[in-house]
Amino acid sequence: DAGVIQSPRHEVTEMGQEVTLRCKLISGHNSLFWYRQTMMRGLELLIYFNNNVPIDDSGMPEDRFSAKMPNASFSTLKIQPSEPRDSAVYFCASSLTGGELFFGEGSRLTVL
Amino acid sequence: GDSVTQMEGPVTLSEEAFLTINCTYTATGYPSLFWYVQYPGEGLQLLLKATKADDKGSNKGFEATYRKETTSFHLEKGSVQVSDSAVYFCALKNTGGFKTIFGAGTRLFVKA
């Protein structure tokens, strides 16, 4: 069975550019989480969806960040405009409601 | 609020040494407790879990016991291997809640 699939694995961009990260959930899972990992702040939960509906976006750092689930199996995280302090590894994770998390391999973002 | 505290790393051991990584938690209610492992360049994956007091989770030679009286969930392994080198995260999730709270992670290096 395919796991959580993220793309791109690596992204290097310049400050001010738009960045879109993508995530495909495991088939049958109905919960989706976006996390950000940095050395300084560890793992931070950015946003959580259940059944395609955003439940908690209190971790989204600023209005420059937005996330969508256009269907039950796919999500995007967009940063516009990007800044150097957004450099991090972004993970998405899926689960059945209340179950264990299954993480993707992450998207490493570098903003110059 | 709920939180997880785990020992700072890095922890450096020789192959076949005994491993303990300490984890304590603060939570309202009766959380489930988890250890996740992150190998280099990968996302986190569930290593083991325990859902109620005195439960022992185990997997791949690792064990952890849910101790309600000391609010702890220490990870142990009797004989580590080089392939166990990774970052280990202690985590909790309250019953009925959606958010998994992660500790800061402990990096383990195992030398041959």
Whether A43 sits inside 8 A of B46 (CB atoms) is: no
- The mean pLDDT of chain B is 94
For residues B88-100, average pLDDT: 88
Task: Round to whole Å and give the CA distance between B98 and B76.
Answer: 27
Task: Round to whole Å and give the CA distance between A107 and B15.
Answer: 32
Task: Round to whole Å and give the CA distance between A92 and A75.
Answer: 9
What is the distance in angstroms between the Cα of B16 and the nearest Cα belonging to chain A? 29
pLDDT for A1 equals 61
Task: Round to whole Å and give the CA distance between B77 and B18.
Answer: 6
Cα distances from A13 to residues B20, B28, B46, B102, in angstroms, run: 41, 42, 32, 29
Cα distances from A85 to residues A9, A19, A88, A112, in angstroms, run: 19, 13, 8, 9
For chain B, say whether A96 makes contact (Cβ under 8 Å).
no
Q: Residue B30: which pLDDT band, with cuts at 50, 70 and 90? A: confident
Whether A98 sits inside 8 A of B89 (CB atoms) is: no
**Least confident segment among A65-69, A104-108, B5-9:** B5-9
Q: Residue B1: which pLDDT band, with cuts at 50, 70 and 90? A: confident
Task: Round to whole Å and give the CA distance between A51 and A55.
Answer: 9
Q: pLDDT tens digits, residue range A81-102?
A: 999 999 999 999 999 877 889 9
Of A42, A45, A98, the CB nearest to B104: A42
